[in-house]
Amino acid sequence: MVRRYDPERRQRIIDAAIRVVGKKGIGGLSHRSVAAEADVPLGSTTYHFKTLDELLVAALRQSNEGFAKVMAAGRAFEDPEADLAAELARILGDWFAGERSGVELEYELYLAALRRPALRPVAAEWCAGLAEVLERRTDPVTARALVALMDGISLQVLLTGGEYDPVYTREMLDRLL
């Protein structure tokens, strides 16, 4: 039997898992549904990811990367004269201005850590990574509080179906700072 060299297969499986969760929710995720979405043999998904939790960890890590990159690139984190509250409100606004289903997917994966302990370290890494960026401009306790506030505002917008309010967000962030 000849094996086909496919160095991108693992990544295609992760991308497929993200699409499956986006379409069907975490409850719709299975090795079989991901294999079908990625157009790979079922054995490929179980070869790369022994459990669904391993696959969810990879999907959550990938989802977290987008927001973390936006945060890390923010100009207010290096410039002590920049308005940090305004920059954070802008970053959240840009995130919400994107595809709503993508934002919902990121939070669905993030909140899956409530029931899936394997995801908790990844969720904690995300919070710690954002706090680390914010510590460039503030102390560690305030940085963690800013992450919690941004998380809370994001959850309220997502769970209520409301619109993101940048003025309110900036005011709340400014109060905390």
pLDDT, tens digit (0-9, with 9 covering 90-100), for 98-124: 777 778 888 888 888 889 999 899 889
Question: Rounded to whole angstroms, how far apart are CA atoms 119 and 106?
Answer: 13
Same domain as 77, residue 7: no
Same domain as 38, residue 81: no
For tokens 């690139």, the residue is: 73
* Selected residue with higher pLDDT from 149 and 59: 149
Number of domains in the chain: 2
pLDDT at 4: 66
Question: Rounded to whole angstroms, how far apart are CA atoms 37 and 26?
Answer: 14
Same domain as 171, residue 101: yes
Longest alpha-carbon distance in the chain: 65
CATH of residue 89's domain is 1.10.357.10
Question: Rounded to whole angstroms, how far apart are CA atoms 70 and 106?
Answer: 14
Q: What letters, b where the CB count within 10 A reaches 16 and e where it falls short, cover 18-49?
A: bbbbbeeebeebbbebbbebbebeeebbbebb
What's this model's pTM, rounded to 2 decimal places? 0.82
**For the chain, what percent of residues have pLDDT higher than 70?**
97
Query: Domain limits at 14?
Result: 1-50
Question: Rounded to whole angstroms, how far apart are CA atoms 132 and 142?
Answer: 11
Is the pLDDT at 126 greater than 90, yes or no? no
